C-alpha cells in the first residue's frame, strides 16, 4: 500500500521588515501573518546583494527562553556572546545558540570588498519548553565541513539536525527537531517519512510541487497534482506518512528549507528578544537585563 502523502494545508508569504541596527530582511514566522508554528517562534531570511541592506548588523542584544539558530548560505557573520562563545560564520556554517536563562550576543557582517556583496542566510528561533527556559546557555558552532549532505539522483540534502536517509545531523537538540536544506534538479523528487510534530517548508529557490507531482502529471490514473509553491512561500504540511516535494521543470533548480518540531503546547509570551510563558516572566527578564542579572 502506498504511504499517505502529506498535503499542503496553508501557504504564507513573509513580510519585509527592518531589525537589528537597520537590517532589511523578510520575516517568515513571527509576523501578523504567521505568529508561530509551535515550537518555532521566528524565522527570518536575510538575502541581499546591497551592503546597505545589512552592514549595520545586529549589535549587542539579549535573549532568554529560546535557542537562536543562524544558517549562512552566502556571506559571513561574526558572532560574539557574553559567555565567551562565538566565531566567524561562513557559507554553509550554522551557529546553534541556546540562550536559556540569559545571554547577550552580537552578529555582525564581516564581508570583504567588491565581489563579496551578497549575503544570504536565516535565523530561526526555537522556543524552549517551560521546564528548560532557565537552563545554562551553550553555543554550538557547526562548520560546513562537519554538516553532512546526502546526494541521490537529482537530490541533495544538507542535514543540520534530525536525520534523512539514515544520516544524522550534528546539532545537539533539546527536543526532536529536523532542519534540512534541500536542493532539487528540475523534475527531481524529495521523499521522506513525515517526522513527528509540526512540519513546514520554506521555498527559497524556484518552484516546487508539494504533496504530488507537477500539474501535467495529475490525471484520473496518474499521481495527484501537487500544491504549487513559489520562491518565498512557506507551506504548512498536514498529517500523513510521507513528505513528497517535486521540483518544477524549466528552471535551474528548486530548493527549500524543511523543518519539523514537536510542539510544546504551552502559552507563549513575547517581549522583544525574550520568549517566555507569562507576561510577568517577560517583565522579570527585562528587569534582570537592566540590572545586570540576566547572565
pLDDT of 112-148, one tens digit each? 556 678 899 999 999 999 999 999 999 999 999 999 9
pLDDT of residue 213: 72
Total domains, the chain: 1
Residue 283 located in a structural domain? no
Pairing mode of beta strands 119-127, 103-109:
unpaired
Residue 1 located in a structural domain? no
pLDDT of residue 171: 97
pLDDT of residue 5: 95
Residue 188 located in a structural domain? yes
Tell me the whole-structure pTM to 2 decimals: 0.94
Residues 6+ apart with CB under 8 A from 292: none
pLDDT category, 289, cuts 50, 70, 90?
very high
Name the β-bridge partners of 96: 69, 140
Residue 290 located in a structural domain? no
pLDDT at 224 over 70: no
Name the β-bridge partners of 80: 86, 106
**Which residue range is the domain that position 80 belongs to?**
8-276
pLDDT of residue 114: 62
Percent of the chain with pLDDT over 70: 95
pLDDT category, 110, cuts 50, 70, 90?
confident
25 neighbors 237 (Cβ within 8 angstroms): no
Name the β-bridge partners of 12: 234
At 176-220, the pLDDT tens digits run: 999 999 999 999 999 999 999 999 999 999 999 999 776 655 444
| Residue 51: how many other CB atoms lie within 10 Å | 15
pLDDT of residue 87: 85
Residue 286 located in a structural domain? no
Q: If we measure between CA atoms, which residue out of 127, 109, 128 comes closest to residue 119? A: 109
DSSP designation for 14: -
Residue 281 located in a structural domain? no
pLDDT of residue 81: 84
CATH number of residue 179's parent domain: 2.60.120.10
pLDDT at 241 over 50: yes
pLDDT category, 111, cuts 50, 70, 90?
confident
Residue 25 located in a structural domain? yes
Residue 289 located in a structural domain? no
Instruction: Over range 34-58, report the average pLDDT.
Output: 94
101 neighbors 136 (Cβ within 8 angstroms): yes
Amino acid at each position: 500500500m502506498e504511504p499517505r502523502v502529506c498535503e499542503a494545508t496553508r501557504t504564507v508569504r513573509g513580510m519585509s521588515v527592518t531589525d537589528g541596527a537597520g537590517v532589511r530582511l523578510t520575516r517568515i514566522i513571527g509576523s501578523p501573518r504567521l505568529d508561530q508554528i509551535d515550537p518555532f517562534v521566528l524565522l527570518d531570511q536575510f538575502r541581499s546583494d546591497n551592503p546597505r541592506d545589512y552592514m549595520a548588523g545586529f549589535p549587542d542584544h539579549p535573549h532568554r527562553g529560546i535557542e537562536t539558530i543562524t544558517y549562512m548560505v552566502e556571506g559571513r557573520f561574526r558572532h560574539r556572546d557574553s559567555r565567551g562563545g562565538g566565531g566567524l560564520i561562513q557559507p554553509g556554517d550554522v551557529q546553534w545558540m541556546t540562550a536559556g536563562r540569559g545571554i547577550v550576543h552580537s552578529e555582525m557582517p564581516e564581508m570583504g570588498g567588491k565581489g563579496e556583496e551578497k549575503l544570504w542566510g536565516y535565523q530561526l528561533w526555537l522556543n524552549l519548553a517551560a521546564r528548560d527556559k532557565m537552563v545554562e546557555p551553550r553555543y554550538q558552532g557547526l562548520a560546513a565541513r562537519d554538516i553532512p549532505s546526502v546526494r541521490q539522483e537529482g537530490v541533495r540534502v544538507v542535514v543540520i539536525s534530525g536525520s534523512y536517509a539514515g544520516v544524522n545531523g550534528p546539532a545537539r537538540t533539546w527536543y526532536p527537531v529536523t532542519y534540512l536544506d534541500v536542493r532539487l534538479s528540475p523534475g527531481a523528487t524529495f521523499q521522506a517519512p513525515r517526522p513527528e510534530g509540526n512540519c513546514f517548508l520554506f521555498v527559497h529557490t524556484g518552484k516546487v510541487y508539494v504533496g504530488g507531482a507537477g500539474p501535467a502529471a495529475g490525471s484520473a490514473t496518474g499521481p495527484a497534482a501537487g500544491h504549487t509553491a513559489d520562491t518565498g512561500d512557506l507551506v504548512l504540511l498536514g498529517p500523513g506518512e510521507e513528505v513528497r516535494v517535486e521540483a518544477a521543470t524549466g528552471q535551474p533548480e528548486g530548493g527549500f528549507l524543511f523543518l519539523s518540531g514537536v510542539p510544546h503546547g504551552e502559552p507563549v509570551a513575547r517581549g522583544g528578544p525574550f520568549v517566555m510563558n507569562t507576561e510577568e516572566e517577560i517583565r522579570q527578564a527585562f528587569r534582570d537585563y537592566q540590572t545586570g542579572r540576566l547572565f
